[in-house]
Structure formats: C-alpha cells, structure tokens
Chains A and B, each alone.
Chain A
Amino acid sequence: MDVVILSIATLIGLYMAANIGANDLANAMGTSVGSGAITLKQAVLISIIANTLGAVLAGGYVTNTISKGLINPTLLAADPNKLMIGMLVALLSAGICVHLATLFGLPVSTTHAIVGAVVGFGIVSVGPGAVTWSKVLSIAASWVISPVAGAGIAGGMYFFAERRILSADDPERQSGRYAPFLIFIVFLVLILSLIFQGLKNLHLEIGFFWTILLTIPCAAAAGGFGRFWMRRQMHTGTHVRAEQAGYSSVDRIFAQLQVLTACYIAFAHGANDVANAIGPLAAIFAVVKSKSVALSVEVPFWMLFIGGIAVGGGLLAFGTRVMDTIGKNITEMTPIRGFCAQFGAATTILVCSRLGFPVSTTHVLVGSVVGVGIMRGMGTLDLRVLKNIGLSWIVTLPVTILLAMFLYKMLAIFLL
C-alpha cells in the first residue's frame, strides 16, 4: 500500500509542480517578457535552469517546513501511516484548490493552499495540539509581511534609480555608472543565499568569516564584469531587439540587467515554491523509506531536482500562454521598472526561503510592483486586486483546512 500511496502522491505532486510552473513561475517571468528584456523562449530556458537550481540549492528549508515544520511529527510516531495518508490528503486538497483556482482564474496561492491543507490534516488526525501554531502564525504573518517587504525593497530601488539615474542630466552615463553596483547587490544576495542554503544541502557549511571573504569578492567580480560588459555595450552600440526599439538608452541597459533579475526571481521561485509540491512528497517518501516518522531525515537532493524539473515542465507545457498574455498586458512594465520589481520580489523570497517561510511568489511580486507604483514609477495600477488577494488569504486557508479534514476522514475509513 505504501508504494501505491507514494505513486499517487508523486502524481499529484507532479501535477502541483506543473501547475506552479504554468501559473506562478509564468507570472514571475511574465514581468521580463512584458518589458521586452527577454523573449518568450529565453524566459522558458532561464526559468527551467534557474528554477531547478533554486530548488536544488536553496529549496531545502521551505520543504522541511512543509514536510515537518507545520505539524508535530512525534505525535504521529505511533502510526506513520497517518502521516503518509495525511500528506497525501494535503497534496490532494491543495491540488483540487489550485486546479479550481486555475480554472476560474482566482488569485489563490499554491503556498497558502498547501499550508492550509497540512494544518487541516494535522487537526483531524491528531487534534489541534498536533499543529505547531506558532509556526503557522509566523507563516501567516510572513504572507502579510513579505509583499510589504517586497514593496519596500522594490520601491526603494526605484526611488534610488529615479534619483540617481533617470533624473540625472546624463541618464545613460549614470546607468553605466550604477549598473555594476546593482549587479554587485544582486550577486551579493544570490551568493549569500547559495552559501546559507545551498552549501547546507551539500553538507558544506562554512563560518561567517569565510562567508564574507567569499561573498564580497565574488559579488565585486560580478559587478566588475558587469562594468566591463556595459562599457563594451555602450561603445559598440547596445544590441537592440525589435521589442526594445522604442526604449530609451537607459531602458536598453536595464533590459540587459533584467536578464539577471529574471534569473534571480526564477532561482528564488525554485527555492520557495517547489516545496509546495515536494514538501508533502518528501514526508511520504521518508515514511516509506524508514517505515517510521523520521525527524532528522533531510529532503533528498534528487527529489528537489525532480520538483524543479516538473515546475519547468509545467511552464514549458502550459505557462508560455500565461507568460505571453501577461507580457502583452503589462506593456507599462519598462525594463527599469521590471528590474526594481523583480529585484524586490526575489530578494524578499530568498530571505523568506532562508527563514523557512513558504510565501507566495506572485503575491510578493504584486507587492513589489505596487511598491514601485507608490513611488510613482508604474503606470496605472488597480489596487482593488489587493482586496482580492486579501480575500483569497481569508478564504483559501479555511477551505483547504476543511477540505483536507473531509478527505482525511474519508480516506481513513478505507485505509486506516
């Protein structure tokens, strides 16, 4: 029976991963397509590679939170089957919820759905005491804080760009001057994230001193290379694609920088969202493998890899239409705006991933776009969307909790 449950869970997990790729990752990458920084094909390629790297190198923390952080596994130690069926139910409930959301175009977050479903099965299988409420509350707080933080970082970045670059007498020269610094910042966060999350996955942990010694020179080298590249582009004439033909020289420079943030956000997405599909699967796999509720088992490397690939596959199969639609609808998203929004979102998501908080990539990105808008940097934004997001927060949790409770009761009749 274990193998059957694992197989069904794998199928649902893969469906979830593909759905995440087709919607959440497509939304995140649509920003770059919309600004004309990258083509649809480039977006797909970047997404698959960077998202998988993010999942493998930095996805462990959030996956651990989903698989064993939300409910106290020791209370299920006496009956590992309960955990296995519970996680299957969690995947099924979240899958149904996400499927319906996709069908009706509702702003439901996969993250919220899976967290609600895991909490629901915890309540019904053992009781409310099984749920680590402090963790659940901190995750719920992170759902509110993360879009606000994204807005703060993106807005701050835009404020800086407007003051120092756009409003300058020679914006092109200023772009060339500050671009290496921006590249430095992006690489600094990326490398720190790799060291703090990726090396842990590879069981290679280094101290604070070595972290600093490794991070700053590497980020500076990336910035230096960026400076060389920018100068070369400026002297030889920036390569202009048809999509960028109407852009100013500054936007053309930022279109190149946005390729970097496109990779950055795809990496951050892999680090955080792949866990929604892989977390419950990892818990089931651990039970099948050890025949017990193991607390110390790490998420297998290959599982994160498969999750990353499945998300990329989902994007490739169904996400291109989403990206294309978004790209056509958000023509107001110029490269500099897109750069700021993606930078704010990706940085927030990576910090949340390090803290083990599953957050919604799309909601954080929406927060970041609004942050740039608050700095008068976007076109016309409909803030009523925020009300819909708020409503989805309020509705998704109870719905998935109740659905998971119901499905668990049903399955328990036959399987326990």
Chain B
Amino acid sequence: MRLLLSSLFLKSPFEGLQRHADKAKECAQLFKEAAVCHVEGRCKDFDALTDQVARMESEADSIKRNIRNHLPRGILMPVDKFQFLQYLGEQDKVIDEVEAALYWLSFRPRGLPKEVAPDFLHLVDSVIPSIETLAELVRMAMDFFRSKSEDQRKKMKRLIQDIRQHEKEADLLEQELKGMVFRNIQDALVVFHTVRLVEIVGDIADHAQNASDRMRAMIAK
C-alpha cells in the first residue's frame, strides 16, 4: 500500500497538552486540599497529598517531554511551534510551583501563623480557578483550531480575561499578605518562610497568566 497522504498527518500535540492541563487541574485540587489540611493542623494526609502531587508533577513532566520530543523540525502546525512550546513551558511551571508550594509548606510542619492563615487560604483559593481555567482553555483551543470559529475565539478571549483578573486578585492578596506578615510577625524565620510561601503561590497565578497570554497570541488573527 502506498499511503502517502496519511503519512503526512501527525498526531496532534494538543492532545498531549490537554492531558498536561488536566494534570495541572488535578494538582490544583489536591493543592487546595493539602493547603487546608496543613493550615488546620489536624490533618494527617498532608504528606500523602504532597506525594500525590509530586507523582503527578512527574507524570506531567513526562507528558511535556513526550510532546517536545514529537515536535521535530519539519512539522507544520496550526499555531507557531515556538509559541506552543512556550505555552507548554508556562503550564508546566504552574505544576512545578504547586509542587514547590507544598514542599515549602511541609518545611514547617507546625502550620502557618494564625494571623495569616485565613488570608493564605484565600490566596490559595484565588489561584485555583486560573489553573482550572487553563484546562478549559486548552479544550477550547483544540476545538478552535479545528473550527476556526469566531464565536469560540471570543469565548477563549473571555476565559483569558478571567485568568488575568484572577492573577490581579492574587497579586493584591499576595501584597496584602506580605504586609500583614511584616506587621504582625516578629520571628525572622517565620517571616522568611511565610513570605517565600506567599510568593510561590503568587507565582502560580503569574505562570497561569503567562500561559494564557501565550494562548492569546496563538489565537490572534
């Protein structure tokens, strides 16, 4: 058989990207659970949840490598390959930061100072929707690059705006929380740990926004 035409078509890397985004979404849910668990201080599952996130991060890395390794030179995609890889990189950093935040939390098993704990959970809550929206964004991108529907593009632009809004909220919360830490806590070690932790969680929203910006560039007319 001479199947020249079918040998022209490669498997879409967006399928891998979707799996990667779904991993990020699962990590986000586990992250929230673990953060609540750690802050409340009564939970015994924190280490198990951290391990689960670490395992997922490793799986996501494997998906990322698989996508990169199967995008050789001579391929033509519906989007710029460079932008696609940048998107993947940012989405991967989201998972990395989730893992880093959990590790950072684990470094002080006694939990966070009571003064900042509620606001910290508020900050965690504010970054979760960004990660979850990324998965939805990739799903919509797969449809968009197939249909090129303007309606779909508009919906995606709205989601991207939502992510920006979440990032802005997370930024504000991050600054407030840092101020609160410096005002209320005297122990330098606790200040350093908490500020760094807050920055890492803030970075999750930053990377989610960076990813959505890359997606915006990919769907530009």
Contacts and interface: CB of A to CB of B under 8 A. Distances in A.
A326 to B, nearest CB: 5
A329 B3 contact: yes
B145 to A, nearest CB: 8
B84 to A, nearest CB: 10
B10 interface: yes
B2 A387 contact: no
A325 B1 contact: yes
Interface residues of B, number: 29
B1 A381 contact: no
A2 interface: no
A250 B149 CA distance: 10
Contact of B5 (A168, A171, A251, A365): A365
Given A370-B76, A377-B148, A380-B13, A385 B8 contact: yes
Residue in B5, B6, B147 whose Cβ sees the most chain A Cβ within 10 Å: B5
A380 B10 contact: yes
Interface in B61-88: 72, 74-79
A218 interface: no
Contacts of B76: 370, 373-374, 378, 380-381, 383
Given A166-B149, A167-B221, A330-B9, A377 B78 contact: yes
A330 B10 CA distance: 9
Nearest to A370: B76
A107 B4 contact: yes
Given A250-B147, A380-B13, A362 B4 contact: yes
Contacts of A250: 147, 149
Interface in A68-109: 101-102, 105-108
Contacts of B74: 382-384, 386-387
B75 A330 contact: no
A102 B12 contact: no
A369 B8 contact: yes
Contacts of A362: 2, 4-5
Contacts of A389: 4
A334 B146 CA distance: 8
B11 interface: yes
A168 B150 contact: yes
Contact of B9 (A108, A251, A329): A329
Interface string B130-162: 000000000000000111111101000000000
20 contacts: A27-B2, A27-B5, A167-B221, A168-B150, A169-B150, A250-B149, A322-B2, A329-B6, A330-B6, A366-B8, A376-B79, A379-B12, A380-B9, A380-B13, A380-B77, A381-B10, A383-B74, A383-B76, A384-B72, A386-B74
Interface of B: 1-13, 72, 74-79, 145-151, 153, 221
Interface of A: 23-24, 27, 30-31, 101-102, 105-108, 162, 166-169, 171, 248, 250-251, 321-322, 325-326, 329-330, 332-334, 362-363, 365-366, 369-370, 373-374, 376-387, 389
Given A332-B12, A379-B10, 12 more contacts: A102-B1, A102-B2, A167-B148, A167-B153, A248-B147, A321-B1, A326-B5, A370-B8, A370-B76, A376-B145, A379-B77, A384-B74
